[in-house]
Chains A and B, each alone.
Chain A
Amino acid sequence: MNAPREQIGTETRLKETYIGQSFARPNARRLLEGQAVYVDDIRLPRLAHVVFVRSPYANALIKAIRIGEAQKAAGVVAIYTGAELMTTVKPMHATLVHFKGMKAALQPCLAVDRALWQGEPVVAVVAESVHQAIDAAQLIEVDYEPQIAVTDMETALEPSTPIIHPELGDNLCFSRQIDEGGFEEVSNNAAYIVERIFRFPRHTGVCLEGRSVIGDFSRADKRLTVYISHQAPNMIQDCYARLLGLKESQVRVVCKDIGGSYGIKTHVYGDELATCAIAMDLGRPVKFVADRTESFLSDIHSRDHRVCMKMAVSEDGQIEGIWIDDLLAIGPYSVYPRTSVVEGNQIVNIAGQWYRHKAYKAKMSNVFTNMAIYSNYRAVGHPVAVGATEGLMDAVARQLKMDPVAIRRKNLLNDDAFPYQSPSGMKFESMSHHRCLDRLVEIMHLNDLRREQETLRKRGVFRGLGIASMIEITNPSAQFYGVGGARISAQDGCTARMDPAGGITLLHGCGEQGQGTETIYAQIAAQVIGVALEDVKVITGDTDVTPYGGGTWASRGAGVGGEAAWQACKALRGNILELGSIIHSCERELLDIREGKLVNSFTGEVISDLSELGRIAYFRPDLLGSYQAELSVTKHFVPKAYPFTFTNGAIACHLEVDIDLGSIKLLKFWVVEDCGTVINPQLVDEQIRGAIVQGIGPTLFEQCIYGSDGQMLNPNLVDYLVPMAAEMPDMVIEHIQTPTRTTELGAKGAGEAGTAGAPAAIMNALNDALAPFSVELFDMPFTPQKILRALGKC
């Protein structure tokens, strides 16, 4: 692991004391002792429960809603229809101006007059208990007039297909084209054109804790408190205030422990919003917790793509041009406020761009359907872009009879080619593809495994090795959402404070969902200020208390949030030293803070405890003359130099195919990832492991399976297969560290790369295993049936 670099000219020297070390998470202890507090654990007086009657149809007119006996059922407090809530809740309209030409319809929080996806909430039933609410909900009769459901992305734009929103003119939400460098001419002159079609299955996050929210409105205070399992509290504050007709200052959002999120919980959901509107109407707290079936039907789905991709290749295997046509099927609405077009947009921004090429032609079509609502989920678009690109690279290698590593070495952007602007317009600050690939080949003992593969093939055992080079967007600037008009903050803030007894408290706008955000900020504080880790307390997730921030998404917690913490701690340290110099009448340069004590910076001799400085500053300011101590400092940070900070890595998969059963056994994964400065190696590695397994899911197991009538056939954990421990492999992780020069911390993001690369690595390993049979598969998930059919067994 490379040592963090030294800063010149500042007071802060990067020591290897805290940053770069694998500390256990202080805030994980309570999770282990049964003291976690998720939304459903919160007890409030007069708490009522809301459940939703949901449309069983993918597309239906709502002719009548008969509440009937439900109103008088035991424990019922109130019942609301979409029409009633429309009077107090503004509809959502998820478009962003920088996605030119994007169309989307207004989405009410509960369906009004028509339901457009199976699972759309139609009626809200509030009762004293969940059981009573469900009992009452069963008494409600809704007259639906089913309509034809649009479910096929390939025909969604055909004239014979019904238009879901007639006012929009067609079922096209957004399309985008890129044409740089003249692909037609390049391909006309190329020695080879290699083209493949890839299918990625619609799937979803399956957070173990269902989406949960409590809305608590105080009529006296005129304030709405929202306890929510969510990744972006300030975004919820902003959206809910505007949609519910409140001032921003009237809304407080509190995020305690969150039972898994992965991007599923970065959106505004109609049922959660309705819960808060209902709380306002009733003047008592109202809770909604999505159960497992509801989660499958109403959490956002993602990654439903048909990708055609081709490369124009020279005689000796150089990529000269890349062409991609990406078709994806979202739900009937664009999800608020991030929209449902970011995924496809990112795919055409990045597909193939880590390879040298002159011509790039891309087309992306994003169509509305009557399947579940759809938006950003961990690694947004990258699994598709990396999957198609890397799958195609291997197909090129097979066609040209080149080694997959050799062809990558020939075409990957050189490690010294940066800064670089890709044909698609992406700006890469620095990458290390070759170093990562070289190290990957080394740690996996690729040559040994190849020899073993050959030996085993003769015995009828078919193993495969697959490699993928990948990139991942992290640390987004305002280019991501802000310029589009979305009030989603790219900046983040940290308040660093020394308390009277000398302890450090950080208040931060990013949040904790288990990845270790609070721990890495504590490590930064400990190192930058010079105190022990256990003397740092980190508070996140309360918009009344924490600085305005963007929250946790796009792997921005370390790179953006961490930099804000770094700057705030640096400033606080300066103020503590200044206070020390005043108290001890000496030059600041003579002072340092080490292990929580003010020391002589040259001799290391202890001058006083920080608690002594605190005592004077807070309780004896009369001793400071005219000097005003300032022991609470807030700093904000937003990336500006680059629209995104790209990370890069290389990933490999070793697997064995049982060609008689069509099953795959994953043997091992290796990853060499460059995410810049690594603050806590264990936390980063565990993010990568979890991300890989989330990438394995849809490659082998996960799929939201829909019938032609728009009904999801498998909204339960028996029929929707999530990765479980027995089928998952061990994973070896290593790092190259190319810090970003755009921040002092140098950290890039790390949370999503594994998900981006795993599908490609598995696909390439599978096709490598089946190479003796001249079989290629590109249609995920790679189920036994697909493999058996490809092998001609059934």
Chain B
Amino acid sequence: MNKTTVRFTLNARPVEVAVEPRMHLIDCLREAFDVSSARVGCEHGVCGACTLRIDGKLVRGCLTLAVQVEGQVVETLERLNETGEISDLQQAFHDRNAVQCGFCTAGMLITSQSYLVHAQGYSRSQIREHIAANYCRCTGYEAIVDAIEFVAKRRGIQSLEENL
């Protein structure tokens, strides 16, 4: 079976791998690079467990062929963890018990970080709409919303609910 070589940046390191074109990015990251935080939950783009960052944007890893990321910057939880950019979010998740089994957590953290980075203001309902992209079966979501709200406040994002 023919393989294509793809070169990209993975968690701040330049990498190169020969993959079958049919292989989606999650499988490639897991098998070729042992990036275990890249997870598969449904492979049809609904559950969000595979959410990662490509060129700074949220992307479903299972809906991306590995060969499509040529020249792009791919970041997974390992990278976000390393840089410390979500250390406050991780702490809030931990303190608030917004993680139980942990399977949704990588995708949920990356999605939450994207919300916090782009939000002009925050509200609980807005947070809920944003993380509606990520399926969690354990928490029922409230603890996750609490944790994100806590970090939003700490990061100085304006509450949209203040005058209600």
Do the two chains touch directly in the complex (Cβ atoms below 8 Å apart)? yes
- Known A209-B101, A259-B101: A34·B78 in contact at CB below 8 Å: yes
B47's contact among A29, A31, A131, A208, by CB below 8 Å, is which? A208
A24 touching B36, Cβ below 8 Å: no
**Are the CB atoms of A34 and B81 closer together than 8 Å?**
yes
State which of B46, B103, B105, B131 has its C-beta within 8 Å of the C-beta of A32.
Answer: B105
Interface flag for A8 (CB, 8 Å): no
In the assembled complex, A25 has its CB within 8 A of some CB on chain B: yes
From A119-127, A327-335, A718-726, give the one contacting chain B. A718-726
Q: Give the dominant DSSP class at B's interface.
A: loop
A725 touches B144 (CB 8 A): yes
Residues of A within 8 A of B138 (CB): 260, 514, 690
Cα-based distance from A577 to B38 in the complex (angstroms): 48
A28 touches B102 (CB 8 A): yes
Report the nearest A residue to B77, measured CB to CB: A34
Q: Does B69 contact A (CB under 8 A)?
A: no
One of B1, B76, B94, B140 near A28 (C-beta < 8 A): B94
Residues of B within 8 A of A207 (CB): 103, 137
Whether the pair A718, B46 counts as a contact (CB closer than 8 A) is yes
Q: Which of A508-567 contact B (CB under 8 A)?
A: 513-516
A716 in contact with B95 given A74-B1, A208-B137 (CB within 8 Å): no
Within 8 A of B (CB), among A675-728: 682-683, 686, 689-694, 716-718, 722-728
**Chain A at the B interface: mostly helix, strand, loop or mixed?**
loop
| In the complex, B49 has a CB within 8 A of chain A | yes
Pairs A–B under 8 Å by Cβ, sample size 24: A24-B95, A31-B102, A32-B94, A33-B77, A34-B76, A34-B81, A36-B37, A38-B103, A40-B30, A257-B101, A259-B102, A260-B103, A516-B97, A683-B97, A689-B143, A690-B100, A692-B140, A717-B44, A717-B135, A722-B135, A724-B141, A725-B129, A725-B144, A728-B128
Q: CB-defined interface of B71-84 with A at 8 Å, one 1/0 digit per residue?
A: 00000111001000
Which among B90, B127, B137, B143 has the highest number of chain A CB atoms within 10 Å? B137
Q: Which of A25, A208, A717 contacts B97 (CB 8 A)?
A: A25
CA distance A498 to B84 in the complex (A): 36
* A148 interface hit (Cβ, 8 Å): no
For residue B46, which residues in chain A have a CB less than 8 angstroms away from its CB? 716-718
Q: Using known A-B contacts A514-B138, A716-B42, determine if residue A34 contacts B36 with beta carbons closer than 8 Å.
A: yes
A730 located at the interface, meaning its Cβ lies under 8 Å from any Cβ of chain B in the complex: yes
- Return chain A residues, CB-CB under 8 Å to B81: 32-34
Contacts of A683 in B (CB 8 A): 97
Q: Which B-chain residue is minimally distant from A259 (CB atoms)? A: B103
Counting CB contacts under 8 A, is A258 at the interface? yes
Cα distance, A717 to B43, chains bound together (Å) = 10
A292 at the interface (CB under 8 A from B): yes
Given A33-B81, A34-B77, A725-B94 contact (CB < 8 Å): no
A259 to B102, CA, bound (A): 6
A38 contacts across to B, CB distance below 8 A:
103
Report the bound CA distance from A250 to B77 in whole Å.
Answer: 38
B151 neighbours in A (Cβ, 8 Å)? none
Contacts of A209 in B (CB 8 A): 41, 101, 103
- B34 in the interface (beta carbon within 8 A): yes
B139 CB–A CB distance under 8 Å: yes
Chain A positions 106 through 143: 1 when the CB is less than 8 Å from some CB of chain B, otherwise 0 = 00000000000000000000000101000000000000
Q: Quick check: B105 and A31 within 8 Å, CB to CB?
A: yes
Per the bound structure, the CA–CA distance linking A135 and B132 in Å amounts to 34
Check: A37 CB closer than 8 A to any chain B CB. yes
Which B-chain residue is minimally distant from A719 (CB atoms)? Answer: B46
A194-212 residues at the B interface, CB under 8 angstroms: 205-209
* Given A261-B101, A686-B143, 11 additional A-B pairs, CB 8 A: A32-B94, A33-B77, A36-B37, A38-B103, A43-B34, A208-B135, A682-B96, A682-B97, A689-B142, A693-B141, A725-B132
- Closest CB in chain B relative to A548 CB, distance in Å: 24
A559 to B142, CA, bound (A): 26
Q: A683-B97, A717-B46 are in contact. Are A36 and B141 (CB under 8 A)?
A: no
- Cα separation A743 to B5 with both chains bound (whole Å): 63
Q: Is A16 an interface residue (CB 8 A)?
A: no
